[in-house]
Structure 1
Amino acid sequence: MIDRRLPSISAWVDAYRDALIPVLPGTLADLHQFRDIEERTGSVDAHTLSEAFSHDPLMTLDVLKRVARHCRSSGAEPPETLVGAIVMLGIGPFFRAYEQPVSILDWLHEHPAATSGLLKVITRGRRASRFAVNFALRRQDEDALIIQEAALLHDFAEMLMWCHAPALMQQVSDQLNADHRLRSKDVQQDVLGISLDDLAIQLMQQWSLPPLLIECTDDRLAHHPRIRTTTLAVRLARHSQHGWDDPHAQAAWPDDIADVAALINLSKDATWRLIQDIDG
């Protein structure tokens, strides 16, 4: 575990370049089940595995990272989606690669507060991914699945921090909970010495993840409709993570709804109804 801030963003990138990525307990159970089915019948395919694991951003990230490493060494283009990565890896090699995955519950058994913090970020990411894919489909964006995946993975650096630097992330969380007026990036800079968004971009580049996925996760490119879809979905999920009646959500609601309405070309009232349906 990392218990003190590192001296630079390069040091953080080095720390996470090959760090273990634990997975959700449900992913562990599904892996055992599908491995048994594959050994008995040989009927498991990439789409089945992708549907089972696409809810787990940590597993999704690890598969994309693993396959991108192989692509880099062979000069091939990395696949942009989880299902494409599993197809490229192959069913047999996939199961061999994940013979002994680690559950977040085992990894963080001495840090229950970190487990809770991590699960909150994952829940937020899932909500963002649902918003993102629905907004993308409303726009008839052909990259809707990549946008959905980008929203799910958007805060992966925060997830990795909870896994490997739980005490530091608890400091960040405590400060933000004590004063909702604080900006996350300012607190991250104060406690960690870096912005987690900057760390995420540098790690994705270091891992040679697909350029389109990196672009969809880069808030600095938010002028592009595809990236803006991801950014607004993440923003909406973050502002409403404590419920729509939370004062923070109430304060952000008018701007969020107006921006989403402009993106998907709906009225504000229709946009609000759509968001409630998605989040229902």
Structure 2
Amino acid sequence: MEAVSTDNTLNGWVERLGSRALPAMALTRQRVMQLLDSPNTTHADLQRILSRDPGFTLAIFRLFNALPQPPREPVSNLAHAIALLGIEPTSQADRALPDLHKQLSAGARAALYDCYSRAGHAAWYAYSWGHDLRLGNPEEMAIAALLHDLAEMLLWTYADRQMGQLTALIKDGMPQTDAEEQVFGFSLRHLSLQLAEQWNLPPLTAQALQPVGAFQARSLAVMLASALARETSRDWHSEQSGELIELAAAFNRLEPDPGRAYIHSLVAGVARNLSGLPLPLTVYALLSAPTAGPSGQAVASAPTASAPTQAPLPDPGAMDADTVPIAAAPKPAAPVKRPEKPPAPPTAGASPLQASLSRIFRELRRTAGVERAMFAMLTPDRQALKVKFIVGVEPDSPLEKFQHPVGERHLLTLLLKKNQSIWLQESNREKLLPLMGEALRTTLDTRGFFMSSLFIKNRPIGILYADRVDDILLDIQGFNHFKSLTQRLCNELSRKT
């Protein structure tokens, strides 16, 4: 769809695109409608769906511009944004957004799907790095990465003829910056920056579009994630991809080999997160062997059309300690670095319960595909469940202070009536969520968890709970391991009491 105007200056394009919306993907709209129709939907549920779609994410934050009294402090979290706006504006956005598949011609549609795919990859990388390095507000980092190539997305939607010209020049070998200047008269990064500032997008979005942002850890992560997503969408085995992977490893304080393994694990996570969406996934290209040239050296495939140039990325190892926080702990040997509160190792005087739980929890995390595990024990008066032993939680997690009464009818009470296990998943969520109540829904992970009652000699003593904090779904194999280990724990405790 072409945007018609005679003003081809940067300001002219800002004005032309300032009232335009990015289209949303059909599956996002379908899932949003389902969630809005459900009385048990939480803001976090909506965030998980919307955060994969640049069109919907942009629409939510732009709604604040239309408020008579916008928030004084910047809103940088989708769940917080939805909470402040309320459900009705979100529903209006769903109805007003153009449909990506219906609106664009075949060529522009494919190009925009490529943009959305790179955005989804970059957002996953940025969030993971922010989370693992404790850089603060990784959700804002994900949003900044998702919307980093904002101008390119809008131009493929409303100016695909000019974007086709840009593509042709790049394929003919013209440097990207020169091609952008020739077609538009400015860089697309500058257009993204102007739009981000006009729409008051989360501050990090604009910071990551400015050269000075390369000297701050959070904005550097966004820039690096976007550059990595762009280059690896062309060729995982190119020299440029190799350099960016090394930079990402250094940024995450990893040696090259474990750093590369860490990046590869994130790519697999992206594939799971974007599953079902009509977006190309780079994990398949990663699995293919590099193309060998005449000399036997790996060569890059032909670059695809791409738009905004990145600000130069400094060497993360050369940055000041005041800019990028240095971890006090030594560099991990493996790429799993999620901060958590470790369990206290059982001592010689540990109780049979503590010793058994420590051993079972280690096996749960190794075989059942879970990251967090909690044992909540009935209090002496048997009126409440209270956390007794927990592993895998982050600092200040609500799960760390779990306590819930059992006198009323809810999921925990029903679970304690007999020795049984449940797996909260998509197929039974609508049935089980009404039994949980607000306190449980805000403490437990309503995307999915395993839970089992623990009985010793036909008497309930508590519940065992396990989940994972990322978007990787639990599966039937993990549930079977969970049930087996839970039963083994009950048998061990029965023999020892």
**TM-score, length basis structure 1:** 0.88
Deviation at 1:100, TM superposition (A): 4.0
Alignment of 1:233-252 (within 5 A): 233-245=225-237, 250-252=238-240
> Retained in 2: the 8 A contact 1:128–1:233?
yes
Asked if 1:60 is matched to 2:54, the reply is: no
8 A contact 1:125–1:154 mirrored in 2: yes
- Partner of 1:208, secondary structure, is coil
State the match for 2:75 in structure 1: 79
> Residue in 2 aligned with 1:124?
118
Q: Which has the higher contact order (CA 8 A, sep 6+)?
A: 1
Tell me which residue corresponds to 2:44.
47
Counterpart of 2:106 in structure 1 is: 112
Kindly indicate whether the alpha-carbon contact (under 8 Å) linking 1:3 and 1:167 is maintained by their aligned counterparts in 2: no
Q: Which runs of 5+ in 1 are unaligned?
A: none
With over 3 angstroms needed to count, the CA separation of the structure-2 counterparts of 1:94 and 1:75, relative to structure 1, is closer
CA distance in 2, matches of 1:90, 1:101: 17
Q: Structure 2 CA distance, aligned partners of 1:241 and 1:254? A: 13
Q: CA separation in 2, counterparts of 1:121 and 1:254?
A: 21
- Rounded to whole Å, the distance in 1 between the matches of 2:3 and 2:64 is 27
Corresponding residue of 1:212: 204
Which runs of no fewer than 5 residues in structure 2 stay unpaired?
A: 269-497
The answer to whether the Cα contact below 8 Å between 2:58 and 2:147 also exists between their aligned partners in 1 is yes
Give per-residue Cα distances to partners, 1:124-156, cap 9 Å, x unaligned: 111111221222223221121111111111011
CA RMSD of aligned residues (A): 2.0
Contact 1:67–1:88 at 8 Å: present in 2 too? no
**2:266 is matched with which residue?**
278
Tell me, yes or no, if the aligned pair for 2:76 and 2:139 is still in contact at 8 Å: no
2:186 partner letter? I
- Show the counterpart of 2:30: 29
The count of aligned residue pairs is 267
C-alpha contact 1:219 1:231 (8 A) present in aligned 2: no
Q: CA deviation at 1:244?
A: 1.2
CA contact (8 A) 2:24 2:56 kept: yes
Q: Which structure shows the higher helix fraction?
A: 1
Which residue number in structure 2 is paired with residue 222 of structure 1?
214
Give the Å deviation of 1:47: 1.3
Q: How does 1:11-26 map to 2 (within 5 A)?
A: 11-26=12-27
1:153 is aligned, of 143, 147, 151, to 147
Relative to its length, the structure with more strand (as a share) is 2
Post-superposition offset of 1:270: 1.4
Q: How far apart are 1:242 and its partner, in Å?
A: 2.2
Once residues 3 and 160 of structure 1 are traced to their aligned partners in structure 2, the CA distance between those partners, rounded to angstroms, is 14
Shift of 1:105: 1.5
| Counterparts of 1:217 and 1:255, CA distance in 2 | 21
SS at the partner of 2:62? helix
Relative to 1, partners in 2 of residues 1:241 and 1:91: Cα closer, same or farther, differing over 3 Å?
same
Amino acid at match of 1:233: A
Q: Spell out, residue by residue over 1:37-93, the C-alpha distance to the aligned partner (whole angstroms, 9 max, x if none).
A: 3xxxx332221111111100111011111124327x446333112211111110133
Matches of 1:170 and 1:4, distance apart in 2: 18
Instruction: Return the offset for 1:8.
Output: 0.8
Letter in 1 for 2:22: I
Between 114-123 and 255-264, the greater mean CA deviation after superposition: 255-264
- The percentage of counterpart residues that share the same residue type is 26
Report if aligned partners of 1:6, 1:193 keep a CA contact under 8 Å in 2: no
- In structure 2, do the counterparts of structure 1 residues 166 and 24 end up closer, same or farther at CA, with 3 Å as the change threshold? same
Distance 1:116 1:211 in 2: 30
Aligned mates of 1:223, 1:150 — CA distance in 2: 16
Structure 2 counterpart of 1:226, one-letter code: R
Match of 2:166 among 153, 169, 172: 172
